[in-house]
Amino acid sequence: MTAAQEPAAGGALPAGGALRVMGAETEYGIHAPSAPSANATMMSARVVQAYAQVTRQRAAGGAETRWDYTDEEPLHDARGWTVDRGSAHPSQLTDQPPVLDAEAVALAYGREELELDGQDESGTLLMNMVLGNGARLYVDHAHPEYSSPEVTNPHDAVTWDAAGDLVALASVRRLSADPDLPPVNLYKNNTDNKSVSYGSHENYLMPRSVPFGDIVRGLTPFFVSRQILCGSGRVGIGQDASTPGYQISQRADFFEAEVGLETTIRRPIINTRDEPHSTADKYRRLHVIIGDANLSQVSNYLKFGTTAMVLSLIEAGLAPKIEVYEPVAALQTVSHDTSLTDTHRPLDGRRVTALDLQWMYHEAAAKLAQDTGVGDAVDGDGHTHDVLDRWATVLTQLDNDRAAAARSVEWVAKLSLLEGYRERDGLAWNDARLGLVDLQWADIRPEKGLYYRFLARNRVDRIVDDGAIAAAVGEPPPDTRAFFRGKCISSFGKDVVGASWDSVIFDVPGYGRLQRVPTREPLRGTKALTGALFERYREAGPFLAELLGHNRTPPAA
C-alpha cells in the first residue's frame, strides 16, 4: 500500500476490496515424546513461560504483561441474546484465565516442579502474555495459542501469523535446551487424528449495521468451497481418521452445525460469537472458526484475501444469491473429493462443483473491485488486484494443472509428497507411515518439518520473505492500534500491568490509581498517530502525562 493509498490517521479503509481489520489465532498441536502422559495444559504453560524467558533475554521489560479479561464477552450471540453462564460449556468461558493448580503440576512432573524457575510473583506459572509485536500468547484448551496483532490487509495477515510460528519455535528451542524439562514438539495442524481437533481461527471487522442473516447467507456457500484454496490436507477420513483416504481439509469432519456460538463442540460453519473488542455499536468482529492452520503462505494469503473480499460483497449487498443444500454435509463432501469433480445441489436445482462456487464469488468480487476502483493494478488499494489475480490463477490450476497448483495450495503440495511415498513403497492410505508424514509436514522446526523442506527446495511459493517475518516477531504492524499496544509493551513493559485488544493498563509511580488507556478504535493508535510520542519518551510517567493531557509531571497521588 503506497502512502497515497493509506487511510488517514484513524480513518476508514477503502471499501469494496481486500482491505479490512483482520487477524489470526493459531492453536498449536503439542507433544512431549519422552513424556507421553504429561499434562497438556502444563506443557502449554511451559511453552508460554519459555517464551517469557526468551523475551527477558532480549529486553529488560515487557515479558510478563498479563492479559486483561475485563471486556471479554464470549457468551453474547450475534442473533440477539446472551447464553446463560450456568448452561454454557466450560470451553466457552474464555473471559477467565486458565487455571493450573499445584496438583496438576505435581501429576505432570512431580512436586519439585513447583520450585523450578518460571513462576510469576504470585507463585503460579505464567499462562498468558502480551507481546511486543502486539500479539497474545497464552494457553487455550490445553494448547499454546498465538493470536496475531490486528492488521489491515492479507499480506500483513500472513506476515504476523508466520511470526507466531517463530515465537513458537523460540519456545521449543528454549525448552529443548533445559535438561530438567522434557522436550516439547509443536505442530501447526488441527487434529491429532484421534477424534480431537484444535482451532485455527480468523477475525474480521465489519460494520455493525450489516444484518447477521446476510452474513450467514453470503458466507455459507463460500466457506463450504473455500477449503479447495486453503485446506492444509489430512490423511484419514472421519473425526478419528478411521476410514482410509486423504482429504482436503483438516477441520471439515469436525463441523456439525450451520450456525452457532460454540467453538469446540457442535462446531458451526458460521460462528455467532458477538465480542467486538472495539466500539460495539459501530463494529462487529466476525469470528471464523472453519479454516485450517496454514504453513503455505499462498493458501494463507488467499484464505484472508478472498474472505475479506466476500465480506465486501456482503456489505454491498452483492454476494452471489446461492444456497447450498445441507451445507454441513456439502462441506465434508467437498473435503473428501480431491478430484474436485463432485457436484452439489443448491436450492435452485442446479448442480455445481466447489470450483464453480468459487468462480461465482470471484466474478462478483472482481466486478465490485472494478466498479469501486480498488482493484485497479495502478490506482487501486495496493492489495485487491493481487488477491483477485492469485485467486483466479489458483482456480484455473486446480481445474487444469494440478502439478502447478502444488506451488500455491497446501493440500495439493502435501498430497504430492504423500503420493510419492505411496508409489515408492506401495503404501495404502491406512498405512501408519503416511500418518507420520502428515504430522511431520506440520512440525514447526525447520530442520524437521517437511513443509520447510519444500520451502527450502523452492517447491512452494512465498508471499513474504524470512526477513520480514523475523522483523514481525518483535515489531507491531504500523497501521492499527496494535502499534500502540506493542510499543507500550516493548517501551514501558515494567509499568504495564495488563493489556487487551481494546485497552492498555499502566501502573506508574506518582499516579494514585491504575491508568487504563482505551483503544477501541482499531485504526487509531497507529505509528502515524503515536510514533513520535514513543520516540520522545523513555519513561512511562511523562509519556502518559502527554498522552492523557496532564501536566508534564504525573499528577499527585
**Amino acid identity at 298:** V
Q: Are 191 and 254 in contact (CB under 8 A)?
A: yes
Give me 219's grid cell. Answer: 458466507
Q: Which residues are catalytic?
A: 140
For the stretch 215-236, pLDDT in tens is: 999 999 999 999 999 999 999 9
**Amino acid identity at 320:** P
How many angstroms separate the CA atoms of 142 and 493, rounded? 27
Of residues 318, 297, 418, the one with CA closest to residue 361: 318
| pLDDT score at 134 | 96
Parse the chain into domains and list their residue ranges: 189-441, 481-547
| pLDDT score at 369 | 98
| pLDDT score at 111 | 34
How many angstroms separate the CA atoms of 487 and 469, rounded? 18
> In which residue ranges of the chain is pLDDT below 70?
1-11, 57-65, 68-125, 263-265, 550-557
Of residues 35, 61, 293, 58, the one with CA closest to residue 174: 58
| pLDDT score at 72 | 54
Long-range Cβ pairs for the range 414-417 (8 Å, 24+): 414/232, 414/233, 414/438, 414/441, 414/451, 415/233, 415/246, 415/338, 417/441, 417/450, 417/454
Q: Cell match 454491498: residue?
A: 316
pTM above 0.85, yes or no: yes
